[in-house]
Structure 1
Amino acid sequence: MSTENNGIGIFEKWLSLWVTLSIVLGIVLGQIWPDIFSLLTSFEYAHVNFVIAVLIWAMVYPMMVSVDFGSIRHVAEQPKGLFITLVINWLIKPFTMAALGVFFFKFLFIDLITAPDADSYIAGLILLGAAPCTAMVFVWSQLTRGDANYTLVQVSINDLVMIFAYAPIVAVLLGVTDIPVPWGTLVLSVVLYVIVPLLAGVVTRKIILSTNRTNKAISNFTAALKPFSILGLLATVVLLFGFQGNVILANPTLIIIIAIPLLVQSYGIFAVAYFAAWFMRVPFRIAAPCALIGTSNFFELAVAVAIGLFGLNSGAALTTVVGVLVEVPVMLSLVALANRTQIYFPRK
C-alpha cells in the first residue's frame, strides 16, 4: 500500500468528492424543500445561526484538542521554518489573496458578475486567505514524512497569533476593498469559533493527559471524533448550497470563476514558501510542512465567519465552500510535488 493511502483516511482522501456530492444534495433539497431551509435560518441571534454554530464546533473542536502549547518551547530548534510560516501566513498570504480577488472580480471578470457579488466574493477570499490551516496540515505533513513535533509547534503558534491577528487583518483588508466591516460580528465569530473551541480543546487535552499520560490517547480521541468533524463540514455545505441553489443553477460557471483565484493563490504561495525554504537550506522534514501550512486554509473558520458576517446565502459563504472543494486535490498535488523534489533539500 502506498504512503499516501496509509497517511490519509477515506474521509480526507475523498473530501472533494464528498463535498461535491453534498453540493448536489444541497441544491436538490433546496429546490424540493425551500421552506425547511428558511426555517433553519431563523434560529439565530446576533447574526449567529445556532444550527451552523453546532456544526462548526463539531468541525473545529477535534483539531483544537491536538494543539499543544507546551511544544512551543521547541521553537528555537529550527527557527527558519517557523519564520517562513509566520511571514507567509500573516504578512503575505492575506494580502495576495485580497489583491487577487480585486484583480479577478473587479477587472478580469467584471462583465460576468455584478458589483455587489464581486464584493461578496472578494470578502470570502479574504476570510480564507487570513485563516492558516490548523488540522489538515497534520495530514499533509505526514504524507511528506515531515517532523510531526515541529508541525505541532507551527500550528500551536499560528493558533496563538490567530486569536489576536485574524480579526484585525480581515477588518483592514475588507476596509481597503471598500467592503463594510461588521466589527461586532467579526469579533464574536473569532471568540465563538477560535477562542471557545481552543479553550475547550486545551481543557480536554489536560483531562486526557491526567488520566492517561500519553499522546497516543489524544490521537485516539481525536481520531474517534474525526468522522463527526467531517460530517459537520458536509452538513454545512448541504445547508449553504440549499440556499445558493438558485444562484448556481442560474450561473453554473460561477464555481469555476471563484475557483480560479483560489488556484492561483494556492500554487503561488506554495512556490514562494517552498523556494524560501530551499534558499534558506531548511531540512525537507520541516521545509515541506512549513510550505504546505502556508498554502492550506483553515476553511472551517472561514466558512463560519463568512456565514456570521454575511449570511448563509451570501457570495462570501459560497466562496469559502468553493475553497473546501479545491483544497484537497490542490494540496495532494503539492504533496506529490514536494515528495518528488525532496532530493534538493538537506536531509538533516
Structure 2
Amino acid sequence: MNRTAEAPAGARLPVLDRLLPVWIGVAMLAGLLAGRWIPGLGAMLDAVAIDGISLPIAAGLLVMMYPVLAKVRYDRLDTVTSDKRLMVSSLVLNWVLGPALMFALAWLFLPDLPEYRTGLIIVGLARCIAMVIIWNDLACGDREAAAVLVALNSVFQVIAFAGLGWFYLAILPAWLGLPGVALEVSAFEIAKNVVIFLGIPLIAGYLTRKLGERTRGRDWYETRFLPKIGPLTLCGLLFTIVVLFALQGEAITANPLDVARIALPLLAYFTIMWAGSFALGKALRLSYERTATLSFTAAGNNFELAIAVAIATFGVTSGQALAGVVGPLIEVPVLVGLVYVSLAVRRRFTSPVPPTEHVPAP
C-alpha cells in the first residue's frame, strides 16, 4: 500500500489508494456472495480454526499488519511515550468515552432488541489493535504513535475488558433501572487474542527492521526492502475482508432489516468518535499526523475479539454474535471514507512535521 505522508497536503493520492474503496467494496461483495451461494463454504472456513481462532482470518490479519509494523522506526518510540497529551487523550477516549458512547447509542437505537444491544456494547468495549494500523497508515498518520497507542490498548484490553463488560452489561443498567446481562470472558482468552493479532506481527516487524538495518543499512531497508513488501498489506486486507464476509454472508443477507437497525448506531459511533477525537487533537495543538492517529485509534474496534466473546458467551447463532459481525460491515467502509476526509482537512494544520520526521515512501 503506497505511503503518501511525504506528499504535500494538496497532493493527489496514488491510483491504488484512490481506488481502495472500490477494492474493498468488491471484496465485501465477493465474500457475501460466496458465503451465500457456495454450499458449505462458511462451515468449511469456520472449521479451519485452532482453539477458537480462525486460521484464515488470522493469516490475513498477520499478512496485512506485518509490512506496516516493519515500517515503524522503533528507535523513535520514546518521542511518542513522552507526549503526555497524546497518551492521556488516547486512554480517555478509548477506555472512558468510547464504551460510554456505545452504551448510550445501543440503548437509544435498540431499546427493544436486547440481544443486538448487548452485542453492540461488547463491540464498544473491544478497542482496536489491528486494522486501525492500516487506516492510520492510509491517512498518513504517525506510525510510531500508532504502534505505541495500539500496544497501550492491548494492555488495557487484557486488564479492563472483563471489568468494563461487567460494569456496562450488569452494574450500570441496574443503577439506571434497566435490564442487564452477565458476560463471562477470561483474561487469558483476551490475552491470547492480543498476542496473536498484535504480538506476532509487532515482533516480526521489529526484528525485520533491526536485522535489515544491521546487515544492509537504513537506506537500503527503507528504499529497497519496504517497497517490495508493501503490497502485502493490501493483499492481506482484501483477503481478510473476503473471508470475514464469507463466514457471515448468510447471516447478514438473511437479516437485512436487522442489519440496518444495527448499522445505525454503529455509523453514529464511528463518526462521532472520529470527529470528536480529531477536534480534540486539533484543540490540543497536536500535529496532523498524531491527530489522525488519535482519531483512528479511538474510532476503530477489535471486531475479532467482539465476535469471539459474543459467540463464546451467547452462541454462534445469537443476536449478539450477529451484532459483532455487522461491526466490520459498517466499520470498514466508514473508516476508509474517513481516511479521505482526514486527508482533505490536512491542509488546515499549519504546523507540518519537520522534514526529519518523514519516512521514505515504500
- Normalized against structure 1, the TM-score is what? 0.80
Q: In the aligned structure 2, how far is the partner of 1:3 from the partner of 1:134?
A: 22
2:61 to 56, 65, 72: 56
Q: In the aligned structure 2, how far is the partner of 1:133 from the partner of 1:182?
A: 24
Contact residue 9 and residue 343 of structure 2 kept, 8 A: no
Show structure 1 runs of 5+ residues with no match.
143-150
Alignment-derived partner of residue 35 in structure 1? 40
Alignment-derived partner of residue 88 in structure 1? 89
SS at match of 2:126: helix
Contact residue 266 and residue 295 of structure 1 kept, 8 A: yes
Q: In the aligned structure 1, how far is the partner of 2:252 from the partner of 2:19?
A: 23
Q: In the aligned structure 2, how far is the partner of 1:43 from the partner of 1:160?
A: 28
Alignment-derived partner of residue 358 in structure 2? none
| Deviation sequence 1:28-86 (CA, Å, 0-9, x none) | 1112114022111111122111122111111111122122321134459xx5xx22321
Alignment-derived partner of residue 263 in structure 1? 271
Does 2:209 correspond to 1:205? yes
Contact residue 208 and residue 218 of structure 1 kept, 8 A: no
Closer, same or farther in 2 for the Cα pair 1:306/1:44, shift >3 Å?
Answer: same
Alignment-derived partner of residue 110 in structure 1? 111
Alignment-derived partner of residue 234 in structure 2? 230
Contact residue 46 and residue 247 of structure 2 kept, 8 A: no
Contact residue 77 and residue 144 of structure 2 kept, 8 A: yes
State the 1:321 CA deviation.
Answer: 4.3
Q: Which amino acid aligns with 1:50?
A: L
Does 2:326 correspond to 1:318? yes
Q: In the aligned structure 1, how far is the partner of 2:301 from the partner of 2:35?
A: 24
More helix by share: 1
1:180 to 155, 175, 184: 184
SS at match of 1:180: coil
Does 2:280 correspond to 1:276? no
Contact residue 13 and residue 328 of structure 1 kept, 8 A: no
Aligned ranges for residues 304-315 of structure 1 at < 5 Å? 304-310=304-310, 314-315=322-323
State the 1:293 CA deviation.
Answer: 0.5
Which segment drifts farther, 161-170 or 205-214?
161-170
State the 1:190 CA deviation.
Answer: 0.7
Does 2:188 correspond to 1:190? no
Tell me how many residue pairs correspond in the alignment. 323
Closer, same or farther in 2 for the Cα pair 1:216/1:165, shift >3 Å?
Answer: farther
Closer, same or farther in 2 for the Cα pair 1:129/1:347, shift >3 Å?
Answer: closer
Structural RMSD (CA): 3.1
Alignment-derived partner of residue 295 in structure 1? 295
Closer, same or farther in 2 for the Cα pair 1:130/1:39, shift >3 Å?
Answer: closer
Closer, same or farther in 2 for the Cα pair 1:175/1:51, shift >3 Å?
Answer: same
Closer, same or farther in 2 for the Cα pair 1:290/1:87, shift >3 Å?
Answer: same
Percent pairwise identity: 17
Closer, same or farther in 2 for the Cα pair 1:298/1:29, shift >3 Å?
Answer: farther
| Deviation sequence 1:188-243 (CA, Å, 0-9, x none) | 01111111221111111122112221245235433333322222222222222223
Q: In the aligned structure 1, how far is the partner of 2:288 from the partner of 2:344?
A: 11
Q: Which amino acid aligns with 1:87?
A: V
Contact residue 70 and residue 209 of structure 2 kept, 8 A: yes
Closer, same or farther in 2 for the Cα pair 1:49/1:270, shift >3 Å?
Answer: same
Q: In the aligned structure 1, how far is the partner of 2:331 from the partner of 2:272?
A: 12
Contact residue 64 and residue 201 of structure 1 kept, 8 A: yes
Q: In the aligned structure 2, how far is the partner of 1:8 from the partner of 1:218?
A: 20
Alignment-derived partner of residue 118 in structure 2? 119
Alignment-derived partner of residue 342 in structure 1? 349
SS at match of 2:133: coil
| Deviation sequence 1:291-339 (CA, Å, 0-9, x none) | 1111113999824434544458642243134222211211321332231
Show structure 2 runs of 5+ residues with no match.
1-6, 170-182, 355-362
Q: In the aligned structure 2, how far is the partner of 1:306 from the partner of 1:226?
A: 29
